[in-house]
Amino acid sequence: MCVWTQLLRFVSLFLLIVFTASSSSRPQWVLQRVPVVLPEETETRPAPHFLSPARLNVSSACDPECHRKAPRPSYWDLRQLLAYETLHSNGHLTETAIGIYGYNPNSDSSARSSSGSVTHAGRVRRKRQIFGHDGRFSIAGQTFLLKFPFSVAVKLSTGCSGTLVGDRHVLTAAHCVHDGKNYVKGAQRLRVGFLKLKQQDAHHSSLSFPSNFTNNVEGFRFSYTPPIHDKMKFQWIRAKRTHVPKGWIKGNANDIGMDYDYALLELKKPHKRRHMKLGVSPSAQRLPSRRVHFSGFDNDRSGQLVYRFCPAGEETPDLLYQHCDAQPGASGSGVYARMWDGRRRRWERKVIGVFSGHQWVERQGAPQDFNVAVKITPLKYAQICYWIKGNFVDCREG
């Protein structure tokens, strides 16, 4: 009996060592306490005009180095930048001042030392939205289209994309509803579209692959079927409220305004689909294979959901520059990562950013373009989570 006991202990110890080693080698979510962002005072503002069409691309004179060298906002600056406007479906507009509690400005420095090159040895890219070989692939059919995580991608009536982050909440880019000066045409009657299958396509599934696609992306194994893309439709739900941070409105998409290109929509009724959790963005070095995922509705592939799995490049404290092939219409897509949750003992996908679009800048005297995503920092996590939950108690760990 003693021998069997010792053998059992040895086997248990061996399995524990193997499991610990394999777990430690996995890219893991690091839970951290986040600050509290609370609304303090709300005032009515003049009704918007809703005159300008939504721009599906953004522009800024500030390149990654410019953003990195920008002075860090003070506490009082942050209170102004994180104050927000709320557009209601009846056209009523309010502005809310906020307070920040438990914020440590020295804890958010992960990207200050990043010095990687998003342009690969200085190669100039001239207003191209597909970099080299097109690495996107389209998804169609019930098997994958309605399967998590692809099912969390939605389309906005202004032409952008978004991601389900709550029972009735959609995360998107601010420029999809506001041009930096005023709310765009269609923002008051904003609708969110859920891609559905027509009845005759209920049992057909297909995927359209690029030639360099690997079968193990997203943990699925695929078999190829010629795609059928003419049997898709959208089911639309109206937005009840739209929250936009003042950092976007004040910045007007210039310089630091790019850092606040995000918005949250509250739907008039629950969507009844599984949504994706919100997460604080880790540094690019901690991302699995330094890559990110996102799905959206690119304009050049009408009625199709387009997915990409692509490398991250340079980063600043608030922005992530990637090499993700995309076209207008993908703006507002939720950028996410899949990592191990040690506390729950499972793999978790979390939205860590919002795809802003293609940024055209002059860099070292030459025109260059970047794919830009707004990172979800601890402060932004606290703000967006409060918008979703309505309290700060459920928003302390990101």
Whether the Cβ atoms of residue 156 and residue 332 lie closer than 8 Å to each other = yes
Task: Check if 175 is active-site.
Answer: yes
Closest to 138 measured CA to CA, from 329, 333, 297, 351: 297
**For residues 260 and 319, what is the distance between their CA atoms, to the nearest angstrom?**
9
Alpha helices per DSSP H over the chain? 2-24, 64-69, 75-82, 142-145, 246-251, 378-389
Q: Are 299 and 329 within 8 A, CB to CB?
A: yes
Q: End-to-end alpha-carbon separation of the chain, Å?
A: 48
SS3 sequence, 137-164?
EEEEEHHHHCCCCHHHEEEECCCCEEEE
- Token duo for residue 379: 């402060």
DSSP 332-354: TPEEEEEEEETTTTEEEEEEEEE
Other beta carbons less than 10 A from residue 229's beta carbon: 14
- Are 153 and 189 in contact by the 8 Å Cβ rule? The answer is no
* Structure tokens belonging to residue 244: 């936009």
265 touches 186 (CB < 8 A): no
67, 175, 275, 293: the catalytic one is 175
Active-site residue, from 167, 255, 300, 341:
255
Listed residue (186, 194, 187, 273) closest to 236, CA to CA: 194
Catalytic residue among 205, 331, 333, 356: 331
Q: Are 237 and 194 a contacting pair, CB within 8 Å? A: yes
Residues 288, 182: Cα–Cα separation, whole Å: 39
**350 in the Ramachandran plot: left (φ > 0), alpha (ψ -120 to 50) or beta?**
beta
Q: Are strands 346-363 and 58-59 parallel, antiparallel or unpaired?
A: parallel
- Alpha carbon distances (Å) from 123 to 30, 118, 225, 284: 35, 9, 37, 21
Provide the annotated active-site residues: 175, 255, 331
